[in-house]
């Protein structure tokens, strides 16, 4: 069984494109299910919840389509692929990502975003709670990233 470490960078990009297509399909199914369950009723939603849900969902759709296009563009151009690979494998970028929470924080933010989006369509008390937690998590990740990116000198081991 192959692991991600054994895949070439080109294969990783191909898998990303497949994952993004699956995410896009999941988002469309999610929209259909929310509509069928009666979520997103503007009579219940506050203006903040309405704006948040529209920005996150439709902005997310645009972002996913944009990322699919960008990754396909990488596969067509060997030079762009090499530049992206150097950027992703850059030791400083990996250090900053790891110190600001790494993949665990990224997954947590995605889960919080999904929970907040769903709550915005059904329950305003749950929405404001989830929104506060999401905002705090984003601020903490951004602050950690900023702090470690502005440190001088040698990195501690």
Res 89 pLDDT > 90: no
On whether the CB atoms of residues 105 and 50 are closer than 8 A, the answer is no
pTM of the model: 0.81
Q: Which of 40-44, 61-65, 69-73, 136-140 has the lowest mean pLDDT?
A: 40-44
Question: For position 1, what pLDDT does the model report?
Answer: 47
Which band of pLDDT confidence, cut at 50, 70 and 90, is reported for residue 139?
A: very high
The whole-number average pLDDT for the span 87-110 is 90
Q: Which of 80, 76, 141, 72 is nearest to 107 (CA)?
A: 141
Q: Is the dihedral of CA 47, 51, 56, 57 positive or negative?
A: positive
Question: For position 73, what pLDDT does the model report?
Answer: 93
């Amino acid at each position: 069984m192959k692991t991600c470490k054994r895949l070439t960078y080109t294969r990783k990009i191909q898998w990303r494109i497949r994952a993004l297509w699956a995410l896009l399909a999941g988002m469309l199914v999610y929209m259909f299910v929310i509509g069928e369950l009666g979520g997103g009723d503007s009579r219940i939603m506050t203006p903040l919840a309405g704006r948040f849900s529209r920005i996150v969902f439709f902005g997310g759709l645009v972002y996913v389509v944009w990322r699919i296009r960008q990754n396909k563009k990488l596969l067509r151009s060997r030079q762009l692929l090499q530049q992206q690979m150097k950027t992703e494998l850059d030791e400083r970028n990996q250090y900053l990502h790891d110190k600001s929470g790494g993949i665990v924080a990224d997954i947590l933010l995605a889960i919080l975003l999904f929970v907040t989006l769903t709550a915005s369509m059904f329950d305003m008390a749950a929405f404001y709670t989830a929104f506060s937690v999401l905002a705090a998590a984003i601020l903490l990740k951004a602050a950690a990233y900023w702090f470690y990116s502005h440190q001088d000198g040698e990195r501690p081991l």
